[in-house]
Amino acid sequence: MSTPSKPLAGLKVIELGTLIAGPFASRICAEFGAEVIKVESPDGGDPLRKWRKLYEGTSLWWFVQARNKQSLTLNLKHPEGREVLKRLLGEADILIENFRPGVLEKLGLGWDVLHALNPRLVMVRLSGFGQTGPMKDQPGFGAVGESMGGLRYITGFDDRPPVRTGISIGDSIAALWGVIGALMALRHREVNGGQGQVVDVALYEAIFAMMESMVPEFDVFGFIRERTGNIMPGITPSSIHTSADGKHVQIGANGDAIFKRFMQAIGRTDLADDPSLASNDGRDARRDELYGVIDRWANSLPLDQLIQVLTDAEVPASRIYSAEDMFSDPQYLAREMFLQARLPDGKPFKMPGIVPKLSDTPGSAEWVGPTLGEHTDSVLTSLGYDQAAIASLRQAGTV
């Protein structure tokens, strides 16, 4: 069911995942041509089917997160269900799973068993704390990973408790690391003559890996980065400001030449020509003064006029976009960041476009998230089960 021109065409991916991290990783694979078979419990399937806004009983998020995937229902508590899974994995390239460590092992489907079954298999394991260490058996959602990984500590304002970023970013970042690891493992398998291996991604480590200079700053200086609201500590000026009509704009004028152009554009040539502000360290030392200047300027103009001044001066800036802003934005439209699709009843709706953009082998969305077990018969048939055997599995509650 893959398109040959896509870069991952010919790869078979089995997803044993629910909710966000595992399914997002396999979604990326599916968008770029891999055949992705999502294994779901016959008893309701992935809980994401019922998360957030529902359309006729099914999550709109589901239709995006499971696009291009096939849905196979399989009860892994049944021996016959595990046998079906083994057949699938015997010819698969990648297994993506986000169970708590030890769950697959209790089912007799640990790495030793699967590697012996298919030495070429790459197993991507996404969990709260990884497959080893004293916390490996504890449950851990993305919010916990964001907290332990350091992101929550530095997010928000210093006069109030930490806040979340607004999306489940810990799960999504872990998914990206999972895909990166899988592609590196495939490269090793195909180019270096290696075998399959385990890609072990812990949610807290996925976040920790993004924490910039936090580790050396603490180790060398004993410095602990704190919450600083909308500014970038040590990098000035870069912050959010409010226009005369109450809209918000992010302005990033922390480059030396950019700062000079910015100050000239707002009529502060005295600051543009001040040698003490010519580099970042000098500007950061006078941070409060500069942000006061920028705040007063921003407060004097409506958003559209403010943006025009910044655009003319080639100062990186953006209004703070809502979904409504995105839907009519020329840049979003030019980059095809909204794909037209149809819900099961035929109602048209828009889905997010494909990222990244590949010039020769672009990804695409071929179909929306399937109904529960929609592809069960076709997958079983491809594995050699005849109609009588499929009916027997269904009668036993295996599928």
What torsion, rounded to 10 degrees, do the Cα atoms 322, 328, 332, 337 define?
A: 90
How do residues 243-276 score in pLDDT, each as one tens digit? 999 999 999 999 999 999 999 999 999 999 999 9
Q: What does the pLDDT read at residue 2?
A: 47
CB 67 within 8 A of CB 370: no
Q: What does the pLDDT read at residue 3?
A: 45
* CATH 3.30.1540.10 domain extents, the chain: 238-319
Q: What does the pLDDT read at residue 187?
A: 97
Beta bridge partners, 239, equal 251
Q: Quick check: 4 pLDDT over 70?
A: no
d(CA 20, CA 172) in angstroms, rounded, equals: 7
Q: Quick check: 133 pLDDT over 50?
A: yes
Fold held by 238-319: formyl-coa transferase, domain 3 (3.30.1540)
Report, as an integer, the average pLDDT of 39-44. 96
d(CA 133, CA 204) in angstroms, rounded, equals: 13
How do residues 283-302 score in pLDDT, each as one tens digit? 999 999 999 999 999 999 99
Q: Is 171 a catalytic residue?
A: yes
Q: What is the CATH number of domain 12-210+337-395?
A: 3.40.50.10540
How do residues 190-249 score in pLDDT, each as one tens digit? 999 989 999 999 999 999 999 999 999 999 999 999 999 999 888 999 999 999 999 999
Q: What does the pLDDT read at residue 143?
A: 94
How do residues 61-73 score in pLDDT, each as one tens digit? 999 999 999 999 9
Q: What does the pLDDT read at residue 24?
A: 98
Q: Quick check: 309 pLDDT over 90?
A: yes
Among 93, 171, 200, 284, the one annotated catalytic: 171
The DSSP secondary structure of 242-301, one letter per residue, reads: E-TTS-EEEEE--SHHHHHHHHHHTT-HHHHT-GGGSSHHHHHHTHHHHHHHHHHHHHTS
Burial class (CB in 10 A: 0-12, 13-18, 19+), 101: buried
Enumerate residues 6+ apart whose C-beta is below 8 A from 212: none
Q: What does the pLDDT read at residue 25?
A: 98
* CATH 3.40.50.10540 domain extents, the chain: 12-210+337-395
> Is residue 107 very low, low, confident or very high in pLDDT (cuts 50, 70, 90)?
very high
Q: Which helix (H) or strand (E) holds 95?
A: strand 94-97
Counting residues of the chain whose pLDDT is more than 70, the rounded percentage is 99
Q: What does the pLDDT read at residue 5?
A: 85
Whether the predicted model's global pTM rises above the 0.85 cut:
yes
How do residues 326-382 score in pLDDT, each as one tens digit? 999 999 999 999 999 999 999 999 999 999 999 999 999 999 999 999 999 999 999
How do residues 76-98 score in pLDDT, each as one tens digit? 999 999 999 999 999 999 999 99
